[in-house]
Amino acid sequence: MDADWMRMALDEAQLAAAEGEIPVGAVLVKDGQLLARAHNRREADHDPTSHAEMLCMRQAAKALGDWRLRGCTLYVTLEPCPMCAGAMVMSQLSQCVYGADDARQGCCGSVYDLPGDAALQGTTQWRSGVLAEECARPLKEFFAPRRDKA
């Protein structure tokens, strides 16, 4: 089932790419039911917090009528950054499953394990590598022409 949810997140990532956003997508589920889906919208919203994960968590909290995301799983195509990993812990999200590692800013094991920091007393578990190659591909395609220009 993880692969199915991650494919839905990949669909969101493709929407982000089509809008000129960094192609990251996310879906949030509880008890096998979709609560929210989103993709990066920082450029469109002129908002540094409009990451796919943040938008998903906001939608899910509204749908649940509770800021606590206990029992929920967030599927995201790219390893969460410090902001998103912090929001996962603060929202009491139960689990995050991500595809591609982020060696530069990833805070679920690559650079730092923010949800695993005992000082935060977090409860968010994470797993990586679900459809990792498929999740990395849109990011590589998005950044390749930008790197060539630089």
Chain segment 55-92, per-residue pLDDT in tens: 999 999 999 999 999 999 999 999 999 999 999 999 99
Confidence at residue 43, expressed as pLDDT on a 0 to 100 scale: 97
Whether 2 shows a pLDDT value over 90: the answer reads yes
Minimal CA–CA distance to 102: which of 81, 74, 117, 76? Answer: 81
Q: Which of 112, 31, 108 is nearest to 77 (CA)?
A: 108
Does 147 score more than 80 pLDDT? no
Cβ within 8 Å of residue 94, ≥6 positions away: 69, 70, 71, 72, 73, 123, 124, 125
Residue 148 scores a pLDDT above 80: no
Residue 59 has which token pair? Answer: 């939608």
Active-site residue (options: 12, 21, 53, 79): 53
pLDDT classification of 122: cutoffs 50, 70, 90: confident
Give CB contacts under 8 A, 24+ apart, made by 41-50. 41/16, 43/19, 44/19, 49/83
Render pLDDT for 11-60 as a digit per residue (tens, 0 to 9).
Answer: 999 999 999 999 999 999 999 999 999 999 999 999 999 999 999 999 99
Please report the pLDDT score of residue 55 as a whole number: 98
What is the per-residue pLDDT for 146? 63
Q: Is 19 a catalytic residue?
A: no
pLDDT at res. 121: 86
Comparing CA positions, the residue from 55, 62, 59, 52 lying closest to residue 13 is 52
